[in-house]
């Protein structure tokens, strides 16, 4: 029999994301057009755009690289240089000289650098660096305003954390000015303008930023925080470093001290001695503002938002099938020199993929990557529409005081904030900007009066059916998905304020979308112990005792309940059976294989609607396994499962 849990009403009406100050000149879309595959973008001081792209050699079909130069307005291809070989890196001087780093072959790991001829006329010269690289991270390349090139690569693992060799070539490529060594493996490099260079990379279990002076001597060496791995590096006008990786943007001063750290959406961690995975893009403008592209599968507070997390999604989910995350969305963050965020926005029409970025001194931002399904660019541009298997778009973003923002940006499960298909009766969170009053409103409900469908002029509809509102605030709305939706279809989720409809999102509907409410750490369930006290680190559950967790998105209940009503007695029941799985560690860990894990089905004493909470919230009571071996738990349904969660258990 379930227990009455009024305290858990707090789970349903959690405060929205904190509102952030807005920028006076946010980025807006100047144009979008079809593009070519782009491994890297760069600009020069005049705003010309350079693209490192791939093409297939006609004789062998093997991949080779080309460099393309476009006019600043993106309408004209000025030249294209078909290199005939694969290049890993490209660097461009302020005046427009282009350098590339030829890809290394397993049979010949010797590192070299090449300069393109004027106007894309083949190669002007190729120069060997005098060393070979080892490891999985490819060499990195930089160039300064005088045309001197800098190449760095891991060349030794004799020290515990590896060793990097960095060389500087003269502008003619005829001689090496210096060769220096830095502890660690490089991930990025940038020339400081004086003849020196700054490196970022991995050393042991942390990242590093190191300086090599203009004479090749060692400058500062800064070890970053544990498990903070920089993927990208840029230098501001003063030569100070800005690095990004593991979801953290860090600024260093001239002595190498970290002065500012800002959490940025969508950081991807890098493991030591492993490839960097999906590339993270970083650019700086002349004022020192940083522009970062990340990728997220969860709701994130946006600011000056100009896109949606799914764009033109039209795919549907059939009833009863699994409901994984619908989309991994690219998101652009603009961070001011003081560490404050000026803009956080989804990229209009951009999908998950190898999105690359370039920023010119005037804060114009170019982004190339895959489009969302059904996206149509605003203009044709110089490249023809590609075939379905190789669609790439170019977004040109520029500061616009009149930039049109998108109020409703994304929808996710209110328990986990994951962006997955919605289920009838599920509590969801909608994020964006201008969604309601600055001060959040938490409407109430009684057994006789359900949650309202309009609060402070705010209304959310699913296929025209108003949704009960549990929380309304400018950056977030919590609502209950109407029970009338049909699994296996798409729904139109629309937001309106004061009777004026803003934008809508097309979103898939599934029969279930299970998620367990968690505590502030996002790992431990918001659970009650057997004595109805709150489960916590200082108040753990006893092995063998009964605990209660709460979830949403577990499917229909019978008899059916009206939207937004509180569940009372006699209690309805869940139509689909709910189980609990415990994942047990067996204590056997082997190199390269990992630790042995097995699952165990636990005893469930109740799984059904939570009394006195809104219909659509499920309470699950289950017995903690004894002995206390559980590492984590999840709720199981006939076709899918909730996220993993933990319970504080005595003795663990």
Q: What is the mean pLDDT of each run of 10 residues along the chain (652 residues)?
A: 39 47 73 92 95 85 91 95 92 96 80 94 94 80 96 79 91 96 93 95 90 96 88 92 91 96 72 38 92 88 91 41 58 94 92 85 91 88 79 92 89 92 96 95 95 97 98 97 95 95 92 95 95 96 95 97 96 96 64 61 96 97 80 92 94 79
CB-neighbour burial class of residue 255 (10 A; exposed 0-12, middle 13-18, buried 19+): exposed
Domain harbouring 31, CATH code: 2.120.10.30
Length of the chain: 652
Let me know: does 579 contact 601? Beta carbons within 8 Å. yes
Residues 382 and 252 in one domain: yes
One domain for residues 88 and 233: yes
- 85, 67 Cβ separation under 8 angstroms: no
- Please check whether residue 43 lies inside any domain of the structure: yes
pLDDT value at residue 134: 78
pLDDT value of residue 69 = 97
- Does the residue 496 lie in any domain? no
Helix (H) or strand (E) holding 10: helix 9-12
Q: What is the pLDDT of residue 198?
A: 97
Is-contact 99 114, C-beta < 8 A?
yes
pLDDT of residue 404: 86
CA proximity to 569, closest of 578, 579, 561: 561
Cα–Cα nearest to 393, from 29, 25, 28: 29
Please tell me the predicted confidence (pLDDT) of residue 25.
83
Do 395 and 532 lie in one domain? The reply is: no
pLDDT, position 385? 84
Which tokens belong to 202? 């991995």
pTM score over 0.85: yes
Q: What is the pLDDT of residues 539-559, one digit of tens each?
A: 999 999 999 999 999 999 999
pLDDT recorded at residue 195: 95
Domain extent for 156: 27-400
- Based on the fold, state whether residues 389 and 525 are members of the same structural domain: no
For 570, residues 6+ apart whose C-beta sits below 8 A from its C-beta are: none
Task: Say yes or no: 184 and 327 in one domain.
Answer: yes
302 part of a folded domain: yes
Q: Does residue 3 sit within a domain? A: no
* E strand residue ranges, 591-628: 594-601, 604-609, 617-623
CB 323 within 8 A of CB 487: no
HSE, side-chain direction, 13 A CA sphere, residue 208: 23
Residue 405 within a domain: no
Kindly report the CA angle at 465 between 460 and 467, in degrees rounded to 5? Answer: 45
User: SS3 string of 450-492?
Assistant: CCCCCECCEEEEECCEECCEEEEECCEEEEECCCCCCCCCEEE
CB 114 within 8 A of CB 100: yes
Q: Is the bond leading into 559 cis (omega within 30 degrees of zero)?
A: yes
pLDDT at 618: 98
pLDDT value for 314 = 39
Q: From residue 5, how far is each of 53, 159, 528 by CA, in Å?
A: 59, 58, 9
Domain boundary among the residues 400, 423, 456 is at 400
523's CB contacts (< 8 A; 6+ apart) are 645, 646
Give me 57's structure tokens: 């050699």
Per the structure, how many domains does the chain have?
2
In a domain, 419, yes or no: no
Query: What residues does 552 pair with on adjacent strands?
Result: 515, 617
Task: Report the 10 Å Cβ neighbour count for 560.
Answer: 13
CA distance readout (Å), 287 to 145, 283, 430: 19, 12, 34
Residues 394 and 523 in one domain: no
In a domain, 463, yes or no: no
Q: What is the DSSP string of 247-313?
A: TEEEEE-TTS-EEEEEE-TT-----TTS---S--EEEE-TT--EEEEEEESB----BS--S-SSTT-
Written as six digits, the tokens of 120 are 């894309």
Residue 423: predicted pLDDT? 96
Residue 481 lies in a domain: no
Residue 46 has a pLDDT of 93
């Amino acid at each position: 029999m379930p227990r009455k849990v009024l305290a858990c009403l707090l789970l349903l009406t959690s405060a929205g994301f904190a509102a952030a100050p807005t920028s006076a000149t946010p980025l807006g879309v100047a144009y979008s057009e079809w593009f070519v595959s782009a491994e890297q973008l760069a600009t020069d001081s005049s705003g010309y755009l350079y693209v490192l792209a791939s093409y297939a050699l006609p004789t062998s079909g093997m991949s080779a690289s080309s460099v393309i130069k476009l006019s600043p307005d993106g309408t004209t291809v000025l030249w294209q240089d078909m290199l005939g070989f694969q290049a890993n890196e490209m660097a461009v001087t302020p005046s427009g000289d282009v350098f590339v780093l030829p890809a290394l072959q397993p049979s010949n790991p010797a590192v070299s650098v090449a300069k393109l001829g004027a106007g894309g006329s083949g190669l002007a010269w190729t120069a060997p660096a005098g060393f070979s690289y080892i490891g999985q991270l490819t060499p990195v390349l930089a160039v300064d305003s005088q045309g001197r090139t800098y190449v760095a690569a891991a060349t030794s693992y004799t020290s515990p954390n590896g060793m990097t060799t960095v060389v500087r070539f003269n502008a003619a490529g005829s001689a090496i000015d210096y060769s220096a060594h830095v502890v660690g493996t490089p991930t990025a490099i940038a020339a400081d303008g004086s003849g020196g260079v700054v490196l970022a990379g991995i050393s042991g279990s942390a990242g590093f930023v190191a300086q090599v002076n203009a004479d090749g001597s060692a400058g500062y060496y800064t070890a970053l925080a544990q498990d903070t791995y920089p993927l990208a590096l840029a230098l501001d006008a003063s030569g100070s470093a800005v690095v990004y990786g593991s979801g953290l943007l860090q600024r260093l001063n001239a002595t190498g001290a970290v002065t500012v750290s800002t959490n940025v959406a969508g950081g991807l961690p890098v493991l030591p001695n492993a490839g960097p995975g999906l590339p993270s893009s970083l650019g700086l403008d002349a004022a020192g503002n940083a522009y970062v592209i990340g990728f997220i599968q969860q709701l994130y507070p946006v600011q000056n938002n100009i896109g949606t997390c799914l764009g033109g999604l039209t795919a549907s989910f059939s009833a009863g099938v699994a409901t994984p995350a619908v989309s991994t969305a690219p998101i652009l963050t603009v961070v001011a020199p003081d560490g404050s965020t000026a803009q956080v926005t989804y990229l209009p029409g951009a999908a998950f993929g190898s999105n690359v970025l370039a920023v010119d001194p005037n804060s114009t931002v170019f982004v190339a990557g895959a489009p969302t399904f059904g996206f149509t660019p605003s203009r044709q541009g110089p490249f023809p529409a590609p075939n379905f298997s190789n669609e790439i778009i170019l977004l040109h973003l520029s500061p616009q005081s009149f930039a049109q923002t998108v109020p409703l940006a994304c929808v996710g499960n209110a328990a986990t904030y994951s962006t997955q298909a919605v289920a009838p009766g599920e509590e969801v969170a909608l994020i964006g900007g201008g969604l309601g009053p600055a001060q959040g409103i938490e409407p109430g409900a009684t057994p006789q009066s359900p949650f309202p469908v309009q609060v402070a002029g705010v209304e959310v509809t699913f296929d025209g059916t108003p949704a009960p509102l549990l929380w309304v605030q400018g950056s977030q709305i919590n609502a209950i998905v109407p029970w009338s939706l049909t699994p296996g279809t798409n729904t139109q989720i629309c937001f309106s304020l004061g009777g004026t409809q803003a934008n809508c999102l097309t979103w898939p509907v599934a029969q279930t979308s299970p998620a367990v409410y968690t505590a502030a750490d996002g790992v431990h369930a918001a659970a009650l112990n057997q004595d109805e006290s709150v489960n916590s680190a200082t108040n753990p559950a006893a092995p063998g005792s009964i605990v209660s967790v709460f979830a949403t998105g577990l499917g229909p209940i019978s008899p059916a309940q009206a939207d937004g009503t509180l569940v009372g007695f006699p209690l309805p029941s869940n139509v689909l059976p709910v189980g609990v799985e415990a994942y047990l560690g067996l204590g056997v860990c082997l190199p390269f294989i990992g630790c042995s894990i097995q699952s165990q089905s636990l005893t469930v004493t109740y799984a059904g609607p939570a009394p006195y909470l809104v219909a659509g919230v499920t309470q699950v009571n289950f017995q903690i396994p004894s002995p206390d071996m559980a590492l984590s738990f999840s709720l199981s349904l006939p076709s899918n499962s909730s996220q993993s969660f933990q319970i504080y258990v005595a003795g663990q």
